[in-house]
Chain A
């Protein structure tokens, strides 16, 4: 009975314990758990707050978030699973927020209703800082093989990818810098890592700043390839290539909290400018294995082939022969050190010329490096040219390869040339360096050897105005001079005007004495015409009698007298008169001219 009683009591206690635990379980299940994507967070940086629960709640109410701007959400998700006859569900609501000011903020509890009861979430304390917040280091997490950096901002960040995480010195790998964004973004500038301790070559046309859609960590992003480079580490150890960065401008539409404003204008547009930066790009550079390392190894690393060419193999003395050593394949070709040829002393050797034809691609560096050496043999003979051993490390097979010593026979024919017997290396030209600057030396014979101005006095510039003043004076007197000249021309000539006419009359008198009557009349007429021309500016030999009368209008008797004389002279040519009449005509002419002067 006692035992039965104890059993009953135990059974009752177990029952209550089960009921209580069930109740507690339900109570825990009905909680809402508030989580934040990161804490602390920088001013202006987007972060996400998520409310999770394992029940399907309703009438969810956010706490007041006056210190934050809501830039996304609510994003709601609900899932339920049925495993081994047990039903489990989860529900979450997320918001993307941007903090406005620096400080510590308490986000209050959110509330919701579940089966008619009110359930609440825990509160959150969020610290907002100025500037950039260092990315949180995930404890115990190894860096991903091909992804060096993960930014802390989920919406816009930069990542640098390397095609290999561990390389040998000289082994090329590809470094890709990408910008991931889910925001309206404008790329302004790209800042590349410093890439110290490495040889780099840009892959042509690989950078693509056009945004394309990519899925990254289960999220869709617009992705731009900022740079794509082939990088070759040069020495073993940890190679820190620095950080890649970009200057971007992005815009975010904020929910204002005002339903109508959000409804009509879609929220408030905010533009941010930010320098994004990746975490340091670190590559582990392994050392070359010591085992089996040839003595001729100088650091060439790749998958190579070596070719040696001699053109021609038979020549005349004084002709040039070309030795070409070509290393081709994939690897650190621009850094490979090709072997140096040792030629006999009777060869004149020119400075070797090295040519690189190396292209960068996704596969690394490929092409060839060639050294061309030109030599002129001065002596005939058969020469054995030894091309030294060359070795490199094949990073794919992880073993050393050796191109053995090669011997080439070169036959030189012809006569011995002068200057043979010594090998002359023509040195490459160098810029003449300046040890020290100094002033130039004295000018000799300076005294008295200067034809310039002996003192600082300047000539009287005013004298230069003299010609100009004289010219101006000329033009000032010019009208007066012209007027005087015209007046002089217009004035009667006076007694001087009779001189030529009287000469002609003397000739006429002579002709009269000689009995040349025709000439006499002609000379008399000319004397009158000459007088009228000289005295009154009448045209010579003008037959216009009216002009004569007009010129002598103040003394018409004389005018008429001249007209009569001319008429008589003309008439007498056709009907000659006697000697007395001729003499009368001569006297008349002379009298008229003398009295009219």
Chain B
């Protein structure tokens, strides 16, 4: 990705989105990208482009929501990281992005290098090989077969675990629900009701973990000290 290609080979909707974007009509471009995202919701480049539209429209919260979604899928992409940092720099609240423990972070990055399904096939295949070799070890008539079966099964089993772990961690990270504030300012209450005491105020672009939800409220958490209920319409989930 990243190369400049003629739009002739792109999807017609994407051609239209690019034309609108280049002419400064970001609202229309965003609408086209939304239609494309409906078909490929996990496509990081579409998320990135949609984030660009939101950024150009001055909707920092929305831009962070899309850039962050793209970043979670492709954490090593320099362009996505740059645009996310740019958007975060414009967010009024000084809230660090939720980052996992470094071991899980690196496992997640490794997991992002291949589609999760590919990792899954690799893990399953090597697991099957390990099982076969273990069978040879268990029931082989000749000693040399049994020996090779034993060591081979160990190697295959190790590979199976190595293929499984990054993919699993990356998958879990993608599933972890986050919220982004998309309104200029919103209050966070101690209970999911309008009469509850207000705990703190968040501004557009603030990112938080989603812990729970009711019909009209989300329970969000920034850290152990700062958590509370916010109205659904004030945040977007990724």
Instruction: Enumerate chain A interface residues (CB-CB to B < 8 A).
Output: 437-456, 458-459, 461, 463-464, 466-468, 470-471, 474-475, 478, 481
Chain B interface, number of residues (Cβ within 8 angstroms): 55
Q: List the 8 shortest-distance A-B pairs measured between CB atoms, nearest first.
A: A446-B45, A467-B127, A467-B131, A443-B45, A447-B11, A459-B120, A458-B171, A439-B83
Interface 1/0 per residue, B5-33 and A, CB below 8 Å = 10101110110001001000000000000
Which DSSP category, helix, strand, loop or mixed, fits chain A's interface?
loop
Interface string of B52-72 (1 = CB under 8 A from A): 100110000000000000000
Say whether B175 contacts A443, CB under 8 Å: no
- In the complex, which of the residues B41, B45, B83 has the most CB atoms of chain A within 10 Å of its own CB atom? B45
Indicate if the CB atoms of B134 and A437 lie closer than 8 Å. no
Contact partner of A442 (CB less than 8 A), chosen from B18, B39, B160, is B18
Contact A440 B82 (CB under 8 A): yes
Given contacts A437-B86, A442-B52, are A471 and B134 in contact (CB under 8 A)? yes
Task: Tell me, in angstroms, the Cα distance from A456 to B175 when the chains sit together.
Answer: 7
* Chain B contacts for A464, CB-based, 8 A: 120, 123-124, 127, 160, 164
Q: List 12 A-B contacts (CB under 8 A).
A: A437-B86, A439-B82, A439-B87, A444-B3, A444-B4, A446-B46, A450-B46, A452-B114, A454-B43, A458-B171, A468-B127, A481-B139
- Chain A residues in 8 Å Cβ range of B168: 461
- Contact check, B41 vs A471: say whether CB atoms are below 8 A apart: no
In the docked arrangement, what's the CA distance between A452 and B1, Å? 13
Q: How far is the CA of A571 from the CA of B49 in the complex (A)?
A: 101
Provide the main secondary structure of the chain B interface: helix
A-B contact sample (12 more), CB < 8 A, given A442-B48, A471-B153: A437-B86, A440-B83, A445-B14, A446-B45, A447-B39, A447-B43, A450-B42, A453-B73, A454-B41, A464-B164, A467-B128, A474-B134
Pairwise interchain contact A447-B40, C-beta atoms closer than 8 A = yes
Q: Cβ of B44 < 8 Å from any Cβ of A?
A: yes
Q: Is the CB of B83 within 8 A of A449?
A: no
Which of A442, A446, A453 has a CB less than 8 Å from the CB of B115? A453
Please report B residues at the A interface, Cβ cutoff 8 Å.
Answer: 1-5, 7, 9-11, 13-14, 18, 21, 36, 39-46, 48-49, 52, 55-56, 73, 79, 82-83, 86-87, 114-117, 120, 123-124, 127-128, 130-131, 134-135, 138-139, 153, 160, 164, 168, 171, 174-175
Q: Which residues of B contact A463 (CB under 8 A)?
A: 120, 124
Query: What is the CA–CA distance of A456 and B178 in the complex, to the nearest angstrom?
Result: 14
Q: How far is the CA of A444 from the CA of B79 in the complex (A)?
A: 13
Question: What residues of A have a CB within 8 angstroms of the CB of B2 in the complex?
Answer: 443
A525–B9 Cα gap in the complex (Å)? 87
Answer whether A454 and B83 are a contact pair too, CB < 8 Å, given A443-B45, A443-B48, A446-B49. no
> Given A468-B127, A471-B130, A443–B160 Cβ distance below 8 Å?
no
Contacts of B123 in A (CB 8 A): 464
